[in-house]
Amino acid sequence: MDIKQRLIALIKSRSYQYSEDKPFKLSSGGYSNYYFNLKKTTYSPEGIYLVGKILFDKLKELSLEIDAIGGLTLGADPIALAVARHSYDSNQPIEAFTIRKEPKGYGTELQIEGNIKKGDRVVIIDDVITTGSSTIKAIKAAERFGLVIKGVIVLLDRCEQNGRQNIESLGYKVYSILTIKDFM
């Protein structure tokens, strides 16, 4: 089984739920018969390895030369850390960063944490997109911080509610590792 198929199998066993009777409420406010809680995969030892390698390889395939990778907490955090770890093991280090939903109200009052600075080239990541609203929130914060966004990578595109189109309307290309079609 190749690495992508192994990730799909892991997500199916840990993170995917389907209910014909009682639809799941999504963060977008909509309802769906299927639900993904990818944190059950992305926080697992095997998930960390698979996600880190797959996304790092995707960055190389796309020739996206970046300084850092990150997105809105909590979905993007384990993905960013997995890629950073894999990049270090590959002797091509990429920094990880996280974006708070709101700037912290004390100290330096930062909304973005990590070893990044204005002008750094980054990829914004997310675990799942439906409407794209969380990813868009991360993009807006990164723009305000002065980061140069080279693209957006999502682990899973649900292919509903125009998530990809909503993000791409901001001028950023969206690359998805998996789509709902991988689970149907």
Q: Is residue 6 part of a domain?
A: no
Average the pLDDT over each of 57-66, 102-111, 162-171 and give the range with the smallest value.
102-111
Cis peptide before 74 (omega within 30 of 0): yes
Please state, in angstroms and rounded to a whole number, the distance separating the CA atoms of residues 25 and 33: 9
At residue 30 the predicted structure's pLDDT band, cuts being 50, 70 and 90, is confident
Q: Is residue 35 part of a domain?
A: no
| The total number of structural domains that make up the chain | 1
Q: Is residue 33 part of a domain?
A: no
Average pLDDT, the chain: 95
Task: Extract the tokens encoding 15.
Answer: 């993170």
Q: Which domain holds residue 174?
A: 53-182
pLDDT higher at 31 or 44: 44
Q: Give residue-wise pLDDT tens across range 105-126.
A: 777 778 999 999 999 999 999 9
Q: Is the pLDDT of residue 127 over 80?
A: yes
Q: Is residue 47 part of a domain?
A: no
pLDDT confidence of residue 178: 98
pTM metric for this prediction: 0.95
Token pair 């198929």 in the structure block, residue = 5
C-alpha distances (whole Å) from 40 to each of 7, 75, 149, 172, 180 are 12, 11, 28, 28, 17
CATH of the domain at 163: 3.40.50.2020
Q: Is residue 173 part of a domain?
A: yes
Nearest-10 crossing angle of helices 77-89, 45-61: 70
Q: Is residue 34 part of a domain?
A: no
Q: Is residue 99 part of a domain?
A: yes
Q: Is residue 160 part of a domain?
A: yes
